[in-house]
Amino acid sequence: MFRLAHISDAHLGPLPDVTYRDLASKRVLGYVNWQRNRRRHMHDAVIDTIVADIKANAPDHLAVTGDLVNLALDGEIEMAKHWLETLGSPHDVSVVPGNHDAYVPGAFDKVCRAWAPWMTGDGVNSPVDRNSFPYLRVRGDVALIGVTTARATAPFMANGFFMEGQAERLGKVLDDTAKQGLFRIIMIHHPPVRGAVPQHKRLFGIARFHKVIRRHGAELVLHGHSHLPSLFTIGTRGAKVPVVGVAAAGQAPGGKHPAAQYNLFEIGGERGNWRLRLTRRGLTGPAMPPSDLQTMDLDVPADGRQLVRS
């Protein structure tokens, strides 16, 4: 049995000191949004409570699907690095970046340098950059595959991008890990599902992602971005792959989105007979400790490889 925890959208705070030069960009909008909204509902104490509960449940691995920071300030990126160090060894924690981590041009490269130990594939010694994705980590019978959709966008936009080059590389990784009989988990920030978020937050390349899944298969897709504990499926009839979202890790009770949660997966069985159970744990009130909110068994494709050739 392999146990995997999944969190997303920590939006760590508080913001470090911000200069006028820092705000001479899209960041000014994010700064206003933080002051008016996010700082009221995104709290480090909430994140600490969620992380403590994760550690108490002692999963084998932790997946973090992006938006660790808010404006991608240098101080935020460094603070997030220290936070990742508190989560666990890079061997036991895997990260993919979100749109807030690539908030302005140049931020993505800084994130890749700072968070490289948590975004590096097994046996890879080269620097992390956009072409390093997808990366692959194998833990037991599980393949953890990190995809990036993060890119700086125009003001008022929070879109993600899944382009052809990464799609080709992802297909190869999925085929290689299928040959090994591994349970393949794709970690991505933006939900690769139509209608999951408003248009200004959607993923460009959803059809491309679906084509990769239809052709090469997968057993599970994890995402963040929506701040919702969602469940979708993609793929062909009879070979539906579960796509699971999660509430924001730093969301305090009382906001417009569900309070902080994390997903805890139990993966057992073997290829052709995988078993997957999802338990959502999270807050139900301001002074309440995390508890089980929902437990369900998810259907996994019996053989997710080469489902459709088109």
Identify the pLDDT of residue 235. 87
Alpha carbon distance 245, 248 (integer Å) = 10
Decide: 223 and 65 in contact? Cβ < 8 Å: yes
Report whether pLDDT(210) > 80: yes
Cβ-Cβ contacts under 8 Å for 24 (sequence gap 6 or more): none
Identify the pLDDT of residue 252. 87
Report whether pLDDT(195) > 90: yes
For the chain, give every domain's residue range: 2-298
b/e 34-47 (16+ beta carbons within 10 angstroms → b): beeebeebbbeebb
Q: Categorize the per-residue pLDDT at 17 as very low, low, confident or very high, splitting at 50, 70 and 90.
A: low
Identify the pLDDT of residue 106. 94
Alpha carbon distance 71, 137 (integer Å) = 29
Token pair in block for residue 293: 């909110």
Q: Mean per-residue pLDDT for 145-157?
A: 93
Q: Categorize the per-residue pLDDT at 42 as very low, low, confident or very high, splitting at 50, 70 and 90.
A: low
With CA atoms as reference, report the closest residue to 119 among 144, 139, 102, 82.
Answer: 144
Which H or E element spans position 40? helix 39-41
Q: Categorize the per-residue pLDDT at 271 as very low, low, confident or very high, splitting at 50, 70 and 90.
A: confident
Report whether pLDDT(10) > 70: yes
Token pair in block for residue 37: 């909204």
Least confident of 134-143, 175-184, 252-261: 252-261
Architecture per CATH, domain 2-298, reads as 4-Layer Sandwich (3.60)
Q: Mean per-residue pLDDT for 111-125?
A: 97
Identify the pLDDT of residue 50. 95
